[in-house]
Structure 1
Amino acid sequence: MVHSLSIERDDRALYRIESFCFVEGGRMNVSVSNLKVSSSRNGFRVGFVMRRAASESAAQQELEELLEQDLCLLDRDSLFSVEATGSVALRREHVVSKSEEGLYSLIFARCSPAAALTSFELEAKFWNPGPSFLSACDAALPSLFAICAGLYLALTISWFALLVTRTVHYIHWMMGVLLIFKSLAMISQSMRYHVVDRTGRGEGWQFVYYAFASLKGMTLFVVILLIGTGWSLVKPYLNDREKYTIAVVLALQVVDNVALVVFEETSPGSQRWLTWRDVLHLVDILCCCAILFPIVWSIRHLRQAAAADGKTRDNIAKLTLFRQFYIMVVSYIYFTRIVVFLLAATLPFNLLWLRYLFSEAATILFYTITGLKFRPQDDNPYLPLKREEDSPDEDDILDAEYGAKDLVELTERPSPSD
């Protein structure tokens, strides 16, 4: 990893700059220049410390305890520290031994003066034998993402092979586009980590990944929204409330994608990184909540339709599938946003790559089950069951095509939120 950081007039006394997993023979090279501390007429004591921790959550907890107890990190044992008491340039190198392997965090600490503004420029180079500039925690990621890309490509080919042999709806083509974007995102992510492993920087591949990841993210939320509303499969239109929900989610996704780029390209040690991290998490949660509303509305409408007339066979079949889809979406969101986050915070350093494995495994499972349930076929329970009628009128013919007479009647009635 090649890490550059420029800090201007920062009032924080203690914060993490970067983390890296080292194995035996790994090297640390830290250089600091243009170090300035305001209000330092009587001198100052600042430094940079490499601290080992069992997990990322343990490292963060230690920093919080030091801040609460107003203790100086420079007084504690560490792998190495670069301490300044008046100089403006610092440099330190270290080779990791077998007993020193583990997850390390480069931390800035200002012990005195208590209140001051600090400025500096830092250049850090971390690498393991090879040389490999990729953290040992992430060493498996290039291969993992390449395997995932192959699986997504297989799903894409299978899906389009199904589309060309069956009668399909517009939503089926959108699901295929989602698989294409996801496959390309995985390919670019694999290449990105491969290049970082060799050079220490993304060399442009990160921007290719951001582009496809953004397109994938927007398409995923739109597809879930449209399936939840029954568009194309059950009804040929969207009501005003559903259109408004989609517009809001797309706007949130634009903010989310901007936050993703800034978050990935900004150093963890900068103040802006913390702000955009919080924005990214908040917007992602809002999007996840918003996509559930159309599914809930459809379940409510179908429940009312099933109770209002005798067409229970059609409506109960649709209602059952909507409920299943709701559970699938909630489970997917809960696992990828909460469970994976907890795993990343608690796993030991040599198993941190498992968070990506679990996340992608859950995504592949979600895509596969959704595709199986909503694949184009004549007897799909999401579509209308055929009814034999003596003399179908024009409305009945329209119902047979879209299978949503009850849903159409209900959604056309103005609701309090319209």
Structure 2
Amino acid sequence: MAINACFLGVGIILYLFSYSVEGRIHHLKLLNDGRKYFTVSTFGFLKGGKLDIQVNELSFYTSHSEAKFGFSLSRSISDGMAPYLENHQEKCLLLDDLHNDDTSFDIILFVLKIRRKVIKVNCSHMFSSLVIERNREWDPVNKHSNRRRRNIGELTSDSYLLARRKRESDGGSNNTKIIERSKVREKIQNSRTDLSNETDNAEKNSQSSECSAVEEFPVNKTGNTYSFQFSVIIGDDIHKGLYSLYFHNCENYGKLVHQSVVNLTMTIKEKNPGTYLSAGEIPLPHIYLGLSVAFFSAGCFWIYIIRKKKQKAFKIHYLMGLLIFLKSFSLLFHGINFYFISREGFHIEAWAVLFYITHLLKGALLFITLVLIGTGWAFIKHVLSDKEKKIFIIIIPLQVLANIAEIIMEESEEGEVKHTTWREVFILVDLLCCGAILFPIVWSIKHLQQASQTDGKAAVNLEKLRLFRHFYVMIVCYIYFTRIVVYLLKITVPFQYEWLNEFFRETITLGFFILTGYNFRPTSNNPYIRLSQDDPELQMEEVITQTGLTEGIFKNVRSRDPTRDSKVTQQEDSHEYD
């Protein structure tokens, strides 16, 4: 069951990558979207950062020409909801006239005026000096062209001019004409001035102005489709922050039925100086690689312990070692993936696929291991009860579904409907999995409580009971810190320290692995198999061997009390706690 679910998850991962998106260079495409507003992208900008927005196609169906569509760009300190947007849940934000003397919020509105075919820009006081760049002569016909814009140095280089003059001299003919080097040099010198003028004219077409100086700029319209392009430059320290870009459809505010649907195709490019990562993600490649080394070192130490006490090791100890190494490789591939996103703006599919596969296997194996430890399998029993088997039938597919939902979230755009849907699925399923792993531990605690009151091995069962209670507290703390505290940390810390939530989560996981390994390490003194030596009334059970083939085989040793008549001792049956 577990293997089939994991293979299904791997197949879905490979299928998703046929429709993968690029890292921090986003391509959003929506058809017949009726939401009143949605988040397009969220990114932390430092000084020198730049946001490029290119709307290739924007079309809509509305009943009147006064309908308002557009974007809002707001800034916040942390990853919580923007305060200004939070107060406009029932009213379209684009309908407001921002007052330049209001310093309580930071926001820019880009409102499409349908009749005039322009984008009206309205900025708050704090964004009045923010630089907005727009290209007047942007040609929507060539919006998918891969040609890059050359700078003045490239346009006036000798190699470029030689190639250009050669093309002009050829005139489309297949006959090669020999041009004397001296004549070429003269033409190069004469061309430098012309090309400099052409470059100056091109730069004039792309104007950069402060937000307060930009009232509106034209858009291109073809039929019922609009297209435009603009950029926002973070040129000062006072403007750095966590920026959220929203799209608004004012026709659907306060309506039970969608009055208007939108078709939108756009490209968003976000970049900080020297990296495509958000400000809070810049340290993540180094953090993931460092934690990968830490988990790998812990795994090597665990293997050393198993080899040193091979006769005391159970099968589950090897399973725990495999889990640590899967976690290490998952972090390694995650760090490499973030490195390429930082450098290129998109991930390399090979590394991303490796990360998702190891992440999926690690997630499934983690919950399997926790459930097996919670049931006491291989320690105090070797057969699972029917209700414990049902836990596996439920928890493994749910965990695979949770990992698939997380992968779809990573591979979809923030503005897509499926991104929001799968995020809700992930939260719900992950909480169900976390709750399900507690049931076997609670059952074991209940059985040990009953056994400590009914049989003659109260001391041993009480010691086992303390260990299970300790493990239960560890599980609850692990879930609480990695799910709730990490989320609270994410929405409260400043945007440039968002990496702390990932560091905190992985550090807590490492600590949890170490504590679990310490409590359930392979040793003859483990409370699972140790009996009290002080009670003369208790029978002794000596472990013959604890290898994988003969685990659970014991020989009975009579009580040292010579007056004791009974010669038969009781063993812990494998079904004792079923």
Same fold flag (TM > 0.5) = yes
Aligned to 1:415: none
The AA in structure 1 aligned to 2:375 is T
Asked whether 1:352 is paired with 2:498, we answer yes
Structure 1 377/125 Cα, relative in aligned 2: closer, same or farther at 3 Å? Answer: same
What CA deviation, in whole Å up to 9, does each residue of 1:186-225 have, x standing for no partner? Answer: 0011011101000111121222211111111000000000
Residue 303 of structure 1 pairs with residue 449 of structure 2: yes
- Inter-partner Cα distance in structure 1 for 2:354 and 2:67: 44
Greater fraction of residues in helix:
1
CA shift for structure 1 position 236: 1.2
1:137/1:352 contact within 8 Å kept: yes
Q: Percent sequence identity over matched residues?
A: 34
Matched position secondary structure for 1:89: strand
Matched, 1:216 2:362: yes
Tell me which residue corresponds to 1:84. 112
Aligned partners of 1:184, 1:291: CA distance in 2, in Å? 24
Alignment-derived partner of residue 336 in structure 2: 191
Shift of 1:81: 4.3
Residue by residue, what CA displacement relative to the aligned partner does 1:244-270 show, whole Å, maximum 9, x if unpaired? 101111110121122112111111111
Q: For the aligned residues, what is the CA RMSD?
A: 2.4
What's the offset of the Cα at 1:382?
2.8
8 Å Cα contact 1:302-1:319 kept in structure 2: yes
**In structure 2, what is the equivalent of residue 126 of structure 1?**
270
Residue 243 (str. 1) matches residue 406 (str. 2): no
Q: Is the 8 A contact 1:170 1:232 kept in 2?
A: yes
Is 1:110 aligned to 2:133, yes or no? no
- Structure 1 letter corresponding to 2:112: A
Q: CA deviation at 1:351?
A: 1.4
CA distance in 2, matches of 1:76, 1:271: 30
2:517 counterpart letter in structure 1: G
How far the C-alpha of 1:41 sits from its partner, in A, is 3.8
Instruction: Name the SS for the 1:206 alignment partner.
Output: helix
Shift of 1:54: 1.8
* Corresponding residue number in structure 1 for 2:488: 342
Q: How far does residue 45 in structure 1 lie from its aligned partner after superposition? A: 1.9
Q: Tell which has more relative contact order, 1 or 2 (C-alpha 8 A, sep 6+).
A: 2
Aligned residue number for residue 94 of structure 2: 72
Alpha-carbon offset, residue 369 of structure 1? 0.4
Q: Which residue of 1 aligns with 2:42?
A: 19
For structure 1, the 5+ residue unaligned runs are 413-418
- The number of residue pairs the alignment matches comes to 407
AA aligned opposite 1:136:
A
Give, as a single letter, the amino acid of the residue that structure 1 aligns with 2:526. Answer: N
Q: Counterpart of 1:199 in structure 2: which amino acid?
A: E
The one-letter amino acid paired with 2:25 is: V
SS at match of 2:57: strand
Counterpart contact for 1:14–1:110, Cα < 8 Å: yes
Report whether the alignment pairs 1:287 with 2:453.
Answer: no
The answer to whether the 8 A contact 2:94-2:109 is kept is no
Distance 2:284 2:445 in 1: 40
How do 1:15-414 and structure 2 match up within 5 A? Answer: 15-59=38-82, 62-72=84-94, 75-76=97-98, 80-86=108-114, 87=221, 88-98=226-236, 99-112=238-251, 115-130=259-274, 132-166=275-309, 167-204=312-349, 205-385=351-531, 400=554, 405=571, 408-412=574-578
CA offsets 1:260-304 (integer angstroms, 9 cap, x no match) = 121111111111111100000000000000000000000000000
Q: Does the Cα contact within 8 Å between 1:35 and 1:118 map onto a contact in 2?
A: yes
Please identify, of 271-280 and 377-386, the stretch whose mean Cα deviation from structure 2 is larger: 377-386
How far residue 110 of structure 1 moved from its aligned partner, in angstroms, is 2.1
Q: Is the 8 A contact 2:92 2:250 kept in 1?
A: no
Q: 2:118: which partner in 1?
A: none
TM-superposed CA distance for 1:42, in Å, is 1.8
Contact 2:383 2:575 in 1 (8 A): no
What's the secondary structure of 1:67's corresponding residue?
A: coil
Give the Å deviation of 1:82: 3.7
SS of 1:255's equivalent in the other structure is helix
- 8 Å CA contact 2:74–2:107 kept in 1: the answer is yes
- Aligned AA for 1:68? E
CA–CA distance in 2 between the matches of 1:371 and 1:43?
Answer: 66
Cα distance in 2 for partners of 1:179, 1:165 equals: 18
Cα distance, 1:210–1:405 mapped onto 2, change above 3 Å: farther
Change (3 A) 1:2 1:164: same
1:58 maps to a residue whose letter is M
Q: TM-score, normalised by structure 1?
A: 0.91
> After the TM superposition, which of the residue ranges 385-394 and 331-340 deviates more from structure 2?
385-394
- CA distance 1:284–1:390, change in 2 (3 Å): closer
Contact 2:26 2:269 in 1 (8 A): yes
The amino acid that maps onto 2:265 is: E
> Which whole-Å deviations, capped at 9, do the CAs of 1:114-144 have from their partners, x for residues lacking one?
53101110100010112x1011111110111
Over alpha carbons, which structure has the higher Rg?
A: 2
Distance 1:348 1:313 in 2: 52
What is the CA deviation profile of residues 365-410 of structure 1, one whole-angstrom value per residue up to 9, with x for unaligned ones? Answer: 100100111111111123332778889899xx95748xx9557454
Greater mean alpha carbon deviation, residues 232-241 or residues 140-149: 232-241
Structure 2: gaps of 5 or more residues? 1-23, 100-105, 115-220, 254-258, 544-550, 556-569
What SS does structure 2 have at the residue aligned with 1:119? strand
Residue identity opposite 2:46 in structure 1: V
The aligned amino acid for 1:127 is K
Partner of 1:8: 31
Q: Which moved more, 1:384-393 or 1:216-225?
A: 384-393
